[in-house]
């Protein structure tokens, strides 16, 4: 056999295990759910990826490379080498129990002399994907910077492009509809860790077929998932980030997955969840965790209300502390449930000024007010400005901020300068022409002095009566890469960024709880690895056409909630902004927080009088939320597992969201389905319109239980009232739900007689 051809080796018995050849130079890896065809060129090429039972190949007509290597060059432009550039390759496949194993090799790269790549795959008997590992021999120590694997060049459309979607792990989750239509001819979108990647999979699919791509990293390495639209194809790849010092041998530190996807986005999330719930961050459910305070599990409304007032030029003009208690009492009475005030502007200097937090703003008047709030059950809550130590505020209420020098040994060092890294955050309001910039240094989470600093912050907050703290502005879920050789880590990017950050959170939380069992630590935005180290997450499930959901064709999906709701509490961010005008958009935002199982939230920021003037529709939706949480629906909406939602016909409403002129289409009745810790099944419904709505339902247990019959109750939210619908009903059970304008309801199913 010639040296430059593909060697195919099939062991005896391979055909019996579902591995078959379709012709010379072709190998098929196959089970009951997936078929992958590798074809001879000079080295293996992925010719087909076929999820079953659809039988539709999702790979581009000209086949797909299997990986791409990126090397640094002297001109600053990376050199990319993909698997098709290998002059030689082999493919070997053999049975492995009820499944198969495959090995692919590639060598003879003209532009990467001496490099050899080995891919090892395992397809279990009933798995929808192949688990892959990659190793690179690099005897010349060429400057290899990134490895893109798995890598698949998919067809530009999957049949009718109208139902094609991309599923993305952008914090709470994003669904990008019809990328063939909504994206330009070339477009690239990456979800990175550290960064906005909250979970480790993405997919490109329609109801019948598609591609599933996932990392399986349990440690927190630098990585990304990318979708890239090119002319005639859609690329999907997972990227490993390598150390700057090249090694003669490198192996991927975690496995990856490449396989098929189809159905609703929840069907694909189910594939990932089977792996995810076996990881350390899912060791205990919320119902099993006694370390999270009961008051938080009750689902209080998080109310963002600044303690500073401002004049017409947006300069600080005074303190809101004297009016705060009355403000909160009024809100609690109007919405009918507990309130936790989040207090922006509490810091010594301007809002979000990190580092020199104390003495807090207007401390002498603040102390008795904070004590009063605690005495009345309001539990004050503040954000820390993450790992930042601000040394200068520019613009409004600006000036130099002292004190950073005493922490110089704990700051991130920039590789370019050998000095503390400077981060400039521009918080100017677009279009207003004002200046509000922060110039900050950054704590390295691995530095010994960092823990001491944050313990001191927790100490002083506790002394003031503040025991709910959020690590804000660390949305990446890790620390910043640091070039110091004095912090106990190798200089440059590395695993320490995530591991040291998790250790810092664990230390803050343990220390805070040693001071008070009521202490809580929250984090801005979602990361699966952080679940055991926190009491709560701050997320913006309700936001659309914004930040991580701003790409063309994007709309939100509760992906993180679907995967992890029974393991992690998330509150509704800084909340929809209360206002006096009638706003279907704000009502929808509040309803989204309810139906996706967030704790309620509403904000006024520094427009404190807006809460008293809030439109009755907004108060009604907050009362809906609190009303349901006062019933057994809380077991589902706070502690339960999200299930596939019921499907039923509903009116479509048109909303104006963001700056886009395109209408945002939403269902008039939002819905979700749940399973409580004790096994009951619940269905939530919220009418977001000011018109009565009717839903013709086929009630069942959503596959979470196999009861032949069920007792069914209906809970109305405001005022909270429960009534039996039927007893011993055979499932599925037909029922027509009538909802008044802006009404919320919850239907509970339990086994007959329990």
pLDDT digits (tens, 9 = 90+) for 90-118: 999 999 999 999 999 999 999 999 999 99
The DSSP code for 78 is P
How sure is the predictor about 76, in pLDDT bands with cuts at 50, 70 and 90?
confident
pLDDT in tens, 461-491: 999 999 999 999 999 999 999 999 999 999 9
- pLDDT surpasses 80 at 184: yes
* Weakest mean pLDDT among 137-151, 415-429, 630-644: 415-429
What's the CATH number for 282-387+445-630?
A: 3.20.20.70
Residue 601: its pLDDT value, please?
98
- pLDDT surpasses 90 at 316: yes
Is the Cα torsion angle 435, 436, 441, 442 positive or negative in sign? Answer: negative
Q: With respect to CATH, is domain 642-751 assigned 2.60.40.1180? A: yes
- Find tokens 């020199």 and name the residue: 356
Neighbours of 61 (CB within 10 A): 11
Residue 642: its pLDDT value, please?
98
- Find tokens 């939230």 and name the residue: 601
Helix axis angle, 321-335 to 363-375, nearest 10°: 20
661's tokens: 């002129």
- pLDDT surpasses 50 at 517: yes
- pLDDT surpasses 70 at 3: no
349's tokens: 């200097």
Of the candidates 487, 508, 486, 511, the residue with the CA atom closest to the CA atom of residue 497? 487
Rg (C-alpha) for the chain, rounded Å, is 27
Q: List, in sequence order, every residue forming a beta bridge with 192; answer none if it has no partner.
A: 224
Higher-pLDDT residue of 428 and 339 is: 339
- pLDDT surpasses 70 at 9: no
Say which CATH architecture domain 6-276 belongs to.
Distorted Sandwich (2.70)
* Weakest mean pLDDT among 4-13, 505-514, 724-733: 4-13
Q: Where are the domains of the chain?
A: 6-276, 282-387+445-630, 642-751
CB 237 within 8 A of CB 68: yes
Residue 15: its pLDDT value, please?
31
- Find tokens 């339902």 and name the residue: 697
- Find tokens 């959901």 and name the residue: 549
- pLDDT surpasses 80 at 400: yes
Residue 435: its pLDDT value, please?
83
pLDDT in tens, 49-65: 999 998 899 999 999 99
CB 62 within 8 A of CB 44: no
Question: What value does the mean pLDDT of the chain take?
Answer: 94
- Find tokens 């194993």 and name the residue: 101
Q: Could you tell me the pTM of the whole model?
A: 0.96
- pLDDT surpasses 70 at 81: yes
What residues have CB less than 8 Å from 290, skipping those under 6 apart?
A: none
Distance CA 382, CA 359 (A): 14
Q: Report the percentage of the chain scoring pLDDT > 90.
A: 91
Domains 6-276 and 282-387+445-630 share a fold: no
How sure is the predictor about 343, in pLDDT bands with cuts at 50, 70 and 90?
very high
Is the Cα torsion angle 286, 200, 119, 10 positive or negative in sign? Answer: positive
- Find tokens 């076996």 and name the residue: 278
């Amino acid at each position: 056999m010639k040296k430059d051809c593909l060697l195919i080796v099939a062991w005896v018995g391979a055909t019996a295990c579902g591995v078959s050849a379709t012709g010379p130079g072709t190998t098929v890896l196959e089970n009951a759910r997936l078929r992958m065809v590798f074809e001879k060129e000079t080295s293996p090429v992925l010719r087909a990826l076929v999820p079953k039972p659809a039988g539709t190949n999702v790979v581009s007509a000209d086949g797909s490379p299997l990986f791409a290597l990126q090397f640094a060059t002297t001109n600053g432009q990376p050199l990319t080498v993909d698997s098709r550039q290998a002059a030689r390759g082999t493919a070997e496949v053999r049975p492995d129990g009820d499944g198969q194993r495959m090995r692919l090799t590639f060598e003879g790269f003209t532009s990467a002399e001496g490099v050899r790549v080995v891919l090892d795959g395992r397809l279990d008997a009933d798995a929808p994907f192949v688990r892959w590992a990659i190793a690179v021999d690099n005897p010349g120590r060429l400057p290899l910077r990134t490895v893109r694997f798995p890598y698949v060049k998919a067809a530009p459309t999957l049949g009718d492009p109208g139902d094609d979607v991309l599923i993305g792990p952008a914090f709470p989750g994003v669904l990008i509809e019809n990328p063939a239509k909504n994206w330009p001819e070339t477009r690239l979108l990456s979800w990175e860790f550290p960064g906005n990647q909250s979970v480790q999979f993405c997919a490109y699919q329609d109801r019948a077929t598609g591609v599933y791509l996932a990392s399986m990293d349990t440690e927190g390495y630098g990585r990304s998932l990318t979708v890239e639209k090119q002319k005639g194809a859609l690329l999907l790849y997972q990227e490993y980030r390598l150390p700057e010092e090249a090694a003669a041998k490198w192996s991927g530190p975690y496995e990856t997955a490449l396989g098929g996807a189809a159905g609703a986005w929840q069907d694909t999330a189910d594939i990932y969840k089977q792996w995810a719930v076996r990881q350390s961050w899912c060791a205990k459910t919320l119902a099993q965790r006694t370390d999270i305070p009961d008051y938080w599990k009750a689902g209080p409304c998080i109310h963002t209300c600044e303690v500073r007032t401002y004049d017409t030029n947006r300069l600080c003009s005074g303190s809101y502390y004297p009016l705060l208690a009355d403000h909160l009492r009024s809100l609690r009475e109007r919405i009918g449930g507990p309130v936790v005030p989040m207090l922006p502007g509490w810091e010594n200097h301007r809002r979000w000024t990190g580092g020199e937090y104390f003495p807090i703003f207007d401390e002498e008047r603040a102390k008795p007010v904070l004590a009063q709030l605690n005495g009345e059950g309001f539990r004050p809550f503040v954000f820390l400005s993450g790992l930042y130590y601000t040394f200068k505020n520019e613009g409004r209420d600006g000036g130099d901020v002292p004190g950073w020098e005493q922490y110089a040994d704990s700051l991130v060092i920039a590789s370019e300068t050998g000095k503390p890294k400077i981060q400039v955050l521009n918080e100017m309001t677009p279009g207003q022409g004002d200046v509000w910039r922060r110039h900050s240094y950054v704590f390295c989470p691995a530095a010994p002095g960092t823990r001491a600093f944050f313990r001191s912050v927790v100490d002083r907050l506790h002394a003031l009566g503040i025991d709910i703290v959020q690590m804000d502005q660390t949305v990446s879920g890790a620390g910043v890469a640091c070039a110091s050789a004095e912090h106990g880590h190798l200089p440059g990017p590395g695993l320490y960024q995530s591991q040291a950050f998790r250790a810092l959170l664990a230390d803050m939380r343990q220390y805070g709880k040693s001071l008070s069992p009521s202490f809580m630590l929250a984090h801005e935005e979602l990361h699966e690895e952080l679940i055991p180290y926190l009491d709560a997450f701050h997320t913006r499930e309700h936001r659309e056409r914004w930040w991580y959901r701003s790409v063309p064709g994007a709309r939100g999906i509760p992906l993180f909630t679907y995967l992890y709701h029974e393991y992690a509490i998330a509150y509704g961010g800084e909340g929809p902004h209360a206002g006096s005008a009638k706003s279907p958009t704000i009502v929808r935002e509040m309803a989204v927080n309810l139906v996706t199982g967030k704790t309620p939230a509403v904000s006024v920021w520094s427009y404190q009088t807006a809460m008293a003037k809030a439109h009755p529709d907004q108060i009604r939706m907050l009362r809906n939320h609190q009303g349901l949480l006062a019933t057994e629906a809380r077991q589902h909406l706070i502690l339960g597992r999200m299930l596939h939602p019921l499907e039923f016909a509903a009116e479509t409403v048109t909303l104006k969201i963001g700056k886009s002129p395109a209408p945002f289409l939403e269902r008039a009745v939002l819905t979700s389905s749940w399973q409580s810790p004790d096994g009951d099944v619940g269905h939530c419904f919220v009418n977001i319109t000011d018109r009565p709505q009717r839903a013709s339902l086929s009630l069942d247990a959503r596959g979470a239980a196999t009861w032949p019959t069920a007792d069914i109750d209906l809970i109305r939210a405001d005022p909270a009232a429960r009534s039996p619908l039927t007893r011993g009903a055979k499932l599925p059970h037909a029922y027509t739900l009538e909802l008044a304008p802006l009404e919320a309801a919850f239907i509970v199913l339990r086994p007959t007689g329990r």
